[in-house]
Amino acid sequence: MDAAQMKREFLEYIEIERGRAVKTIENYDHYLSRFFEQMQIKQVGDITESSVREFRLWLNRQEGVNGSMKRKTQNYYLIALRAFLKFLRKRGISGLAPEYIELAKVPERHIDLITAAELKRLMDAPSEAYLKEKKEDKKIKYLRDAAILELLFSTGLRVSELCALDSDLDLTRDEMSVRGKGEKIRVVFLSEASKLAVRQYLKARKDMNPALFVDGRPDKLHRITPRDIQRHIKTYATRAGITGKVTPHTMRHVFATDLLSNGADIRSVQQLLGHASITTTQIYTHVTDAHLREVHKKFHSRGR
């Protein structure tokens, strides 16, 4: 069975039947093509335990940013290969069992968090910057950035999801639907503070750009990008005197840990974040260990 032909069919399958994003399909194509090329895979039968083992050794010896290729990056190749093997089995084509592909162990993911006091200073930073400069031509910029921060904290949106929002957002409701990874739709909720901030920003807008958030010169506005937001938040974090790393994703981390620390169940948080697997959400449970210690101390063995 021709491996290249089956790869094409696999990519069409995950695009049409699984509804995967275009970027995901491009990545899977890249990972599989590199495996086929390096291991000289021509037929499906050429994918053996030996060829996979040799490829893993080759990956581990490739140069990365700081030394060898990160294990997390190596796993991307293995995930694509495992998905391909599952597809072959689904089609009744015999070959290497997908279960043979074990992912490399990766270091526990580090979560960038800020304290409640730092969060308040960050949220106040746009308005304080405006009051300090008092430049009317920059007022809309500060209104926009305040709305972005409030919306990120209220909804837990990914920065790419926030950038994709349009200005026809219905602010009479406390919820909205967003299209996340894999084109999956989920509901997120708006706080009164976030709705007020967005209203104030939109009221100050004079342009006709359909995007909810825009950037650039008044005569050359464009839909705001994740890189734009990352740059703006970094500036406000510095103004707020926060020494740690603060990114748009930090706001998503704060959103999740705030919910868990206040008693939300992990399944609900998983849905709000749009995680396909609860394993992804479980990275936040370590952050709430301090809260669990307090629960244990308060309620355990009270009768002894």
Catalytic residue among 181, 217, 222, 297: 181
70, 139, 199, 249: the catalytic one is: 249
DSSP state of 70: P
Q: Which entry of 20, 144, 232, 252 is annotated as an active-site residue?
A: 252
DSSP 88-138: HHHTT---S-GGG-PPPP-PPPP-----HHHHHHHHHHHHHHHHHH--GGG
CB 4, CB 35: distance < 8 Å: no
Q: Which residues contact 142 (CB under 8 A, 6 or more apart)?
A: 126, 127, 129, 130
252: annotated active-site residue: yes
Catalytic residue among 82, 158, 232, 253: 158
The counts of H helices and E strands in the chain are 13, 6
CB 188 within 8 A of CB 176: yes
CA quadruple 139, 144, 148, 151: dihedral positive or negative?
Answer: positive
- Quick check: is 275 catalytic? yes
Does the annotation mark 249 as catalytic? yes
Catalytic residues: 158, 181, 249, 252, 275, 284
